[in-house]
């Protein structure tokens, strides 16, 4: 039997998120699960969008946050209303609590299953951003995420999750956190981040040719530079490492949409006296990012501890190890588990001093030993965090939801 989902997602399309593009666009169709995606179109992308999961219903997603929110909300509602109940078996919403409230209502009216996918405590993140920013950027930029966060939080925990047929969460830690809000544990399935080992193979990814890396000992951070990540700690770490290894550089592959915060980070690098040893690439395509990983000696995965990020499942750990470099990671629950069970790196608390000590230790051990660490981690990822393995588990969960449910005609 083929299952077809209508999937509203917060990510624009095409997306670099592997738990959208790889899991739903590539692997789940192999298990008979098709997905029509509803999203904004990634700004700057021209031409058509190839979505392997099924159809793609996209709207423009440019402008300020408020404008994008309203446009994508209305676009999603329109697609929900137009959805043919004989064509779909379920509606799923990802990280859009307000849209999810409408989707839940439509699903019940049309006799469809309703699933919610929670990759991040998005409502808490919106409230945090508003309070952290304060009124420094103006009343509107404070009040919009504050109101959206509080409204979304009420809808999410009191209506959406309580009435969803099933909830997919990012990690075991998130499952426990959500359960404390009154959601039954057996109604939730953790789906950690993974890697597509058919594509991410060291022998298939050529190291980047970047003259800034010539003669350097390179460390890499791959990911968001947003405020909650506290990337400024890496500059303090770099200053310490440079005292022992003068030719070390830090490659930052990623960015933040917060221009004020980006400027502040650049100032912090200058203040620490390491700006000449920081390579800022901005956002890159995944293949380009992987090329930089292959050109570096160790990967860095700092996930500051706290409510917002303890429940995360970082992609970068799986990517670093699969591409053959060991890692320095902090004791965030999911990545601590990966290092403890699979080896592949050093796990320490996220302080500049601890990260510097671990980085120096890794850079000073023989290349053969570092390679052995990475190979051990890669084997663990292949067994437990490849999307081939993850997709089997997700498909089983979807199929179990329809065991005693009257299935409409396939319509496919």
Q: Domain residues of the chain, as ranges?
A: 3-192+387-400, 202-384
Query: Are 3-192+387-400 and 202-384 equal in CATH topology?
Result: yes
- Supply the pLDDT for residue 406: 60
Q: What is the pLDDT of residues 321-368, one digit of tens each?
A: 999 899 999 999 999 999 999 999 999 999 999 999 999 999 999 988
Contacts of 275 (CB under 8 A, 6+ apart): 266, 269
Taking residues 261-273, what's their average pLDDT? 97
- Supply the pLDDT for residue 410: 47
Taking residues 90-103, what's their average pLDDT? 98
Q: What percent of the chain has pLDDT over 90?
A: 76
In this predicted structure, which of 140-144, 185-189, 389-393 has the lowest mean pLDDT? 140-144
* CA atoms of 76 and 82, how far apart (whole Å): 10
Computed over every residue of the chain, the mean pLDDT equals 92
- Is the pLDDT confidence value at 411 over 60? no
* CA atoms of 157 and 149, how far apart (whole Å): 12
Cross-strand pairs, 113 = 90
- Supply the pLDDT for residue 217: 97
Q: Which CATH number fits domain 202-384: 3.40.50.1220, 3.50.50.60, 3.40.50.2000, 3.30.365.10?
A: 3.40.50.2000
Q: Which CATH code is given to the segment(s) 3-192+387-400?
A: 3.40.50.2000
- Is the pLDDT confidence value at 197 over 60? yes
Taking residues 87-102, what's their average pLDDT? 97
Q: What is the pLDDT of residues 28-66, one digit of tens each?
A: 999 999 999 999 998 878 777 889 999 999 998 888 888
220 C-beta neighbours (distance < 10 Å), count: 25
Q: Please give the residue that has the higher pLDDT: either 43 or 80.
A: 80
The pTM score is: 0.85
């Amino acid at each position: 039997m083929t299952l077809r989902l209508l999937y509203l997602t917060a990510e624009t399309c095409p997306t670099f998120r592997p738990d959208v593009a790889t899991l739903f666009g590539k692997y789940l169709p192999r298990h008979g699960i098709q997905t029509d995606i509803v999203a904004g179109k990634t700004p700057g992308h021209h031409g058509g969008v190839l979505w392997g999961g099924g159809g793609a219903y996209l709207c423009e997603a440019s402008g300020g946050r408020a404008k994008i929110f309203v446009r994508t909300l209305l676009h999603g509602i329109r697609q929900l209303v137009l959805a043919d109940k004989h064509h779909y078996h379920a509606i799923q919403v990802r990280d859009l609590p307000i849209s999810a409230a409408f989707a839940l209502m439509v699903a019940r009216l049309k006799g469809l299953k309703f699933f919610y996918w929670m990759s991040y405590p998005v409502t808490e993140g919106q409230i945090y951003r508003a309070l952290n920013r304060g009124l420094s950027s103006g009343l509107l930029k404070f009040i919009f995420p504050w109101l959206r966060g509080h409204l979304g939080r009420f809808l999410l925990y009191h209506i959406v999750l309580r009435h969803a047929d099933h909830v997919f969460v990012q990690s075991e830690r998130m499952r426990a956190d959500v359960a404390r809000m009154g959601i039954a544990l057996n109604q939730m399935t953790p789906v950690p981040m993974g890697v597509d080992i058919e594509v991410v193979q060291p022998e298939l990814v050529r190291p980047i040719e970047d003259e800034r890396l010539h003669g350097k000992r390179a460390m890499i951070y791959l990911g968001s530079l947003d405020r909650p990540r506290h990337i400024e700690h890496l500059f303090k770490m770099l200053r310490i490492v440079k005292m022992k290894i003068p030719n070390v550089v830090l490659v930052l592959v990623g960015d933040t949409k917060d221009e004020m915060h980006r400027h502040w980070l650049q100032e912090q690098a200058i203040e620490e006296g390491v700006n000449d040893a920081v390579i800022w690439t901005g956002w890159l395509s995944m293949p380009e990012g992987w090329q930089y990983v292959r050109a570096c000696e160790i990967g860095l995965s700092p996930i500051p501890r706290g409510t917002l990020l303890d429940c995360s499942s970082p992609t970068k750990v799986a990517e670093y190890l699969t591409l053959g470099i060991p890692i320095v990671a902090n004791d965030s629950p999911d990545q601590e588990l990966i290092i403890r069970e699979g080896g592949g790196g050093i796990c320490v608390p996220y302080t500049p001093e601890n990260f510097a000590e671990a980085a120096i230790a890794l850079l000073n051990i023989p290349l053969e030993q570092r390679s052995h660490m990475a190979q051990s981690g890669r084997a663990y990822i292949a067994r437990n965090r490849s999307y081939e393995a993850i997709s089997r588990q997700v498909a089983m969960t979807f199929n179990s939801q329809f065991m005693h449910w009257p299935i409409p005609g396939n319509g496919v």
